């Protein structure tokens, strides 16, 4: 239930743009972010559905819009539709409209469909990140809630409120996925900051219990070594360990390199795990075969002797 002080808009509310006059009708609330609420809406008179974010603060929202505008040129299919203001009876609020991505947050998708999806989704997510990085931005607040996965593993980053230019301080972060939290480096937005978050996210998806335990210890003793220990202990990480280790240590030069290496390791992994199956014969079968050869040899020997 929503609280009285923060009710949000009920379904059917019409949001009208002050500058561009577009009208959107609220279907339901999709979620609440750090600096606004996101609604599922459709444009009046048109079938298409969109996600519409209403900001708590015009300034915060505008700096998010600025980033999205800057990214518009780089992205093949733009995310931002339009930005405007709306007068909701009591006061003026800013909002922007974005593409609606139907799907579920990463952690729920994995829980439902299984951890074998991690390699493919990881690959797609790294592709997204490398586009962002190529434009000179770090995502910042990378966590499962901010990664939407639609059917068949299509991946989309949502909530660009934490995005900052390279070299600037990270605007928003979440403890577990923050490099500073693990005493592993600064909170400056750069390629390795995002890759670090990505690595912790993978660890959380594959072995949440161990990550939770590691995060419970004293803040001053928390370190990358604890994360590396998880990688060594749990065999589930075998195909990922080398890559994740490299990301945790900030050893990738850029996200292209990280992406290529992920690709290489994941595909190598599938080939390797696929090959031994036809090659390896169970021991009992080999022994039985050897035994049958011996028996046959004996039979042939006795046959000719008689």
Partner 1 sequence: MKQILLITDGCSNVGASPVLAAAHALQDGIVVNVVGVLDYGTIGELGGLEIKEIAKAGGGIHRIVGTPQLAQTMQMMTRKTVVQTIQQAVNKEIQHILGSGSLEELPPDKRSQVVEVVDELAETSSLQVALLIDASASMKPKLAAVEEAIRDLMLSLKARLGSSKLSVFHFPGKHSGEDVVMDVDWTSDLDGARGMFSRLQMKGATPTGPALLKVIEFYRYGTLEGNQSWQGDSSQEEGMLGDYVV
The residue ranges that bind partner 1 (CB under 8 A) are 19, 58-60, 62-63, 65-66, 69, 83-85, 92, 94, 167-171, 175, 180-181, 186-189, 219-220
Residue whose CB is less far from partner 1, 83 or 259? 83
Residue whose CB is less far from partner 1, 42 or 222? 222
Q: In DSSP terms, which residues pair with 247 in a beta bridge?
A: none
Cβ proximity of 193 and 168 under 8 Å:
no
Min dist. Cβ of residue 205 to partner 1 (A):
23
User: In the chain, where does DSSP find H-type helix?
Assistant: 58-72, 106-113, 118-134, 191-206, 208-215, 224-233, 241-248, 255-274, 276-279, 283-305
Q: Select from 166, 168, 159, 158 the least CA-distant residue to 134.
A: 166
* Catalytic annotation present for 141: yes
Cβ proximity of 184 and 223 under 8 Å:
yes
Distance, in Å, from the CA atom of 149 to the CA atom of 109, rounded to the nearest integer, reads 7
Min dist. Cβ of residue 233 to partner 1 (A):
26
Q: Residue 243: helix, strand or coil by DSSP?
A: helix
Min dist. Cβ of residue 135 to partner 1 (A):
16
Distance, in Å, from the CA atom of 125 to the CA atom of 120, rounded to the nearest integer, reads 9
Choosing from 141, 178, 194, 207, the catalytic residue is: 141
Min dist. Cβ of residue 73 to partner 1 (A):
15
Residue whose CB is less far from partner 1, 59 or 297? 59
Residue whose CB is less far from partner 1, 169 or 260? 169
């Amino acid at each position: 239930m929503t609280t009285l002080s923060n009710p949000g808009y009920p379904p059917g509310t019409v949001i009208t743009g002050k500058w561009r006059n577009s009208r959107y009708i609220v279907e339901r609330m999709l979620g609440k972010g750090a600096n606004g609420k996101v609604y599922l809406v459709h444009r009046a008179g048109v079938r298409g559905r969109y996600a519409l974010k209403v900001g708590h603060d015009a300034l915060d929202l505008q700096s998010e819009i600025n980033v999205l505008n800057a990214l518009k040129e780089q992205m093949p299919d733009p995310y931002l539709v339009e930005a405007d203001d709306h007068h909701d009876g009591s006061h003026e609020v800013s909002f922007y409209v974005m593409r609606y991505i139907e799907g579920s947050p990463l952690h729920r998708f994995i829980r439902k469909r299984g951890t074998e999806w991690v390699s493919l989704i990881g690959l797609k997510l790294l592709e997204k990140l490398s586009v962002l990085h190529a434009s000179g931005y770090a995502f910042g607040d990378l966590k499962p809630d901010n990664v939407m996965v639609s059917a068949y593993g299509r991946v989309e980053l949502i909530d660009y409120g934490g995005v900052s230019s390279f070299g600037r301080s990270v605007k928003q972060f979440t403890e577990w996925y923050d490099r500073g939290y693990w005493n592993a480096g600064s909170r400056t937005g750069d390629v390795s900051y995002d890759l670090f978050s990505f690595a912790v996210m993978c660890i959380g998806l594959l072995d949440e219990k161990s990550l939770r335990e590691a995060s419970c210890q004293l803040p001053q003793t928390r370190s990358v070594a604890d994360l590396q220990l998880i990688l060594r202990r749990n065999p589930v990480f075998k195909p990922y360990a080398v890559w994740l280790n490299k990301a945790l240590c900030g050893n990738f030069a850029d996200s292209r390199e990280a992406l290529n290496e992920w690709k290489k390791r994941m595909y190598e992994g599938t080939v390797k795990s696929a090959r031994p199956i036809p090659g390896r014969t169970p021991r009992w079968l080999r022994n039985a075969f050897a035994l049958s050869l011996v028996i046959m040899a004996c039979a042939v020997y006795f046959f000719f002797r008689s």
